[in-house]
Amino acid sequence: MGDLIRADVISDNTVYGVRQMQYTVDGVSGKDFADAVTIAAFRQSTAIEATAGSYSEVVRARQKKVSDLGDVLAYIAEATAKLPVKNGKSTDKVTVNNASWVRNTCSSYGITFSWDGDKMSRADIQKAQTEVQYQMDREDNNLQQDIVSLQSYISKRDNAFSTAARVVRKSLNASESTIGNIGR
């Protein structure tokens, strides 16, 4: 808030030992302290809100990627279970359910592996399974970090709003007290 608020001395005279000040907030002069702090706190919370919104989009995108890769992994695991074994070796290829979706989803996330139409060999399936699991783990770690950052931004935003609300409340209480004392 320090860059947003500039304090200007009105005069060298003091009232009850307090130097008289006015504040310039974001280029607008003539504000008292309560107005200055309130405006600054609300502006800060609005800026934090905008940043938190972009973090939310990143978190949603990562969640979708982890979910998609989990579905891909399920189809690959299902294909692995269907691989026939002959003489202790698996030489055949097996059809992967929803192969075009699996291929397109992996391709959209930069994961490629060998296909023979809608079929894959055991070696290709194992390679695909390893790569997809690696990508899922990496994205899940990044997702956790993004969630922590998002929670931090939300906490900062809430603190800024609370600060502004407290200043407004204290200013109102001081005004009510002053008005109440005038009548005595």
pLDDT at res. 5? 61
- Identify the residue whose tokens are 């109440």: 180
Q: Please name the amino acid found at residue 150.
A: L
> Which residue type does 129 have?
Q
**Distance of alpha carbon 23 from alpha carbon 35, whole angstroms:** 9
pLDDT for position 135? 92
**Secondary structure of residue 104 in the 3-state scheme:** helix
What per-residue confidence (pLDDT) applies to 1?
A: 42
- CB 62 within 8 Å of CB 146: yes
The predicted structure's pLDDT at residue 117: 87
| C-alpha distances in Å from residue 174, one per residue of 10, 20, 25, 42, 178 | 22, 17, 22, 21, 6
The span from the CA of 60 to the CA of 47, in Å, is: 20
The pLDDT of residue 14 is 54
pLDDT (tens place) for every residue of the chain, 184 residues total = 445 666 666 666 555 555 666 777 767 676 777 777 777 777 777 787 787 777 888 889 999 999 999 999 999 999 888 887 666 565 678 888 899 999 999 899 898 888 888 988 888 888 899 999 999 999 999 989 988 888 888 888 888 778 778 877 877 777 777 767 776 5
H/E segment holding residue 12: strand 5-15
Domain assignments of the chain as residue spans, ordered by start? 5-182
Cα pseudo-dihedral 165, 171, 175, 178, rounded to 10 = 140
